[in-house]
Structure 1
């Protein structure tokens, strides 16, 4: 299938959709839906496009995220959501790592199969108020006690996200602080890591040249996808700022008002 979303004849058979900032904005009371997004998702499914909801959301479990989106009027399954937690658990188990989990309390259920006694690694997610000096210092001490390099795993590199009407620090700045202090380079599991996008595409059985990533983060969503051979579309919702369109290293394949606008272009609806 192809459509007018991209300024080319490129075939599009699958879409990777960011969640926060594209489907809904987070905030008090569970946040609010971005107008037209539930209907846009339904139209994509009806048209036969393969979908994967790709998120760096690490404040809640994948199941809880699906339940929240269902309450917001979206129809999706847990298998359609691709988040960093399952890949992180697999990485920890394969490498015999016992992490200090500096993550949001609501996300801990995803890590019940992992041994966290006597930590020899650090996992960073969007821990929000858990990012205290004491917790960051614990993480630092674990990293330097393991020699070089230590095991620092970051569930993304986002700089900030929108919560309500304000921008809020994401996990990236805290990852950078621990990298600087400990001399350890983080292993990123989540956007914009190439492995994140490639794994999602593998699940869909779609080559990157037939897929489009739609997100509100010009660097992690658009740039990360383009680095894997996908097209990247930037929406003017969520954390979008006008200067994103003039990013020095990332040029979106298309900038659209919102997800509904993207779907109109894809389905050639004027």
Structure 2
């Protein structure tokens, strides 16, 4: 085990799905030890933020879902791509064609969607039909200056006991078909992590990101100057520990173990 937890830590960023809880039918369940781990962090005096690419439901619904299984989170602690992309759309006078879940639509209610001049895709789940993807493709091809936003670019995630395709696969399909490069909003983009760091008022070298995605969580955090720690829960695969481009600063069995190491390391 490396000494990642013994250097000064003032802030901790946590992924949600696969770290705090496992999603799936019926709303999901807390991962063993994660409830107590979050309570320890909240009482430790360390700054804590939850950084997720979750876009299948509204932020309000996500908070309610997490709190229903025993967490105590507020929207102010939660960083997801939707508010960030809405801000970008307004600043650039862009009107999106949305390819998202029906449940997520209300989070875009403040954005003008008339006569779309860009496309925003998120983890649309069953809305990623041929018909809907083709509509997004046709709009992009009709524009003189096509703009595609992808809320994250994950390859897959874990839902229940299964691995399922994430938005990145569909982003790549539209990039290939339209000869363009998507603008990614969310992990692993440096700007997404920097927003959370700015909110905490901390520098990157004081913070640790804990996640189950070796590229999106660990690699993204490291690119922003943070330490990245991977848990062996959620979408973790043993081959992640020998990834060709990303080497985690630490690998732990679960969030509980990571938090115990952090708290012990800061008190020694």
* Fold agreement, TM-score > 0.5: yes
Deviation at 1:101, TM superposition (A): 0.4
Q: Secondary structure at the match of 1:212?
A: strand
2:117 to 120, 127, 131: 120
Equivalence for 1:254: 250
2:20 to 15, 18, 23: 23
2:133 to 130, 136, 155: 136
Q: Secondary structure at the match of 1:268?
A: helix
Deviation at 1:40, TM superposition (A): 0.3
Deviation at 1:6, TM superposition (A): 3.6
Q: Distance in 2 between matches of 1:110 and 1:138?
A: 21
Q: What is the TM-score of this pair, normalised by structure 1?
A: 0.96
Q: Distance in 2 between matches of 1:185 and 1:229?
A: 25
1:188 to 155, 159, 184: 184
Unaligned residue ranges in structure 2 (runs of 5+)? none
Q: Please tell me the root mean square deviation across aligned C-alpha atoms, in Å.
A: 1.3
Equivalence for 1:60: 57
Q: Distance in 2 between matches of 1:41 and 1:238?
A: 17
Q: Distance in 2 between matches of 1:7 and 1:125?
A: 33
Q: What is the TM-score of this pair, normalised by structure 2?
A: 0.97
2:80 to 72, 77, 83: 83
1:103 to 97, 100, 105: 100
Q: Distance in 1 between matches of 2:76 and 2:161?
A: 31
Equivalence for 2:44: 47
Q: Secondary structure at the match of 1:100?
A: strand
Q: Secondary structure at the match of 1:144?
A: helix
| 1:156-209 deviation line (CA, Å, top 9, x unaligned) | 010000001110000000000000000111010000011100011000101000
Q: Distance in 1 between matches of 2:79 and 2:85?
A: 12
Deviation at 1:146, TM superposition (A): 1.1
Check conservation: 1:24, 1:33, Cα contact below 8 A.
yes
Check conservation: 1:5, 1:266, Cα contact below 8 A.
no
Deviation at 1:7, TM superposition (A): 3.8
| 1:81-134 deviation line (CA, Å, top 9, x unaligned) | 000010010011111111110001111110001111211100000000000111
